[in-house]
Copies of this chain bind each other. A is one copy, B any other.
Amino acid sequence: MATAFKLVVEYDGTAYSGWQIQNDVPTIQGEIEKVLQSITGQSIRVSGSGRTDAGVHALGQVAGFTCEITLSAQKLHKGLNSLLPPDIVIRSLETISPAFHPRYDAISKIYRYHILNSTWPDAIGRQYAWHLRCPLDMDAMRVAIGHCLGRHDFKSFEGAGSPRSSTVRRILSASITRQASGRIVFEIEGDGFLRFMVRNIVGTLVEVGHARITPDDFLRILHARDRNQAGPTAPSHGLFLVQVLYPAE
């Protein structure tokens, strides 16, 4: 009899062409499927809560798969972590109803974006933050990010070449905090995200932070529904998929 499993996965995206399996390039999904095949002898499809792009990290990506297996969840968990490369770690693995779908059942996702705003970059941890030398205006960025709250058409912040039928999403919370280390952490929770949406929002917020545009301009860009008006896409290595939330959690 087939058993369904839910996984929470942490990964360092530096070495990967993103979550989704592709031919001839390393991907997180591809690595997990390869290890599952070597443990079970079966070709198993792992489905994620959504893709993450090349170079993006995750602390809590959620995925699911179904297979015929006699191993306990605990043993399967241990086996997976001992065979996966060290930049992919299964944080939890549990059996779940076969009806569970990591993408369709998700009610929201939390992303964080890390900027190191300091004269010099860091050597330690440089893989995990975008370094910007010029000081960012926290107050102006906070006003601008506030405009994202609620239900909006985020077409201005959608990556080119991957249009969705609907570009309307609801942002449930959005904050920017500055740590003593000089790190600025953007945290955004939404019921869904378009491709490159967080990185395009952060790239445009940085334009606000550098006073190249105003928070009012940010609002105008949001309303314009036109990618050409928004700022550049922030680099992938500052972005983390932190958590995927499901009902009754």
Contacts and interface: CB of A to CB of B under 8 A. Distances in A.
Interface string A121-158: 11111101000000000000000000000000000000
- The copy count of this chain in the complex is 2
Contacts of A123: 10-12, 57, 86-89
Contacts of A124: 10, 12, 57, 59, 128, 240
Given A12-B126, A125-B125, A120 B86 contact: no
A81 interface: yes
A122 to B, nearest CB: 7
A148 B124 CA distance: 29
A113 to B, nearest CB: 14
A128 B122 CA distance: 14
A16 to B, nearest CB: 11
A169 interface: no
A32 interface: no
A90 interface: yes
Contacts of A89: 120-123
A121 B12 CA distance: 12
A240 B122 CA distance: 14
6 contacts: A11-B123, A12-B126, A57-B123, A81-B121, A86-B126, A87-B126
Interface of A: 10-12, 57, 59, 81, 86-91, 120-126, 128, 240
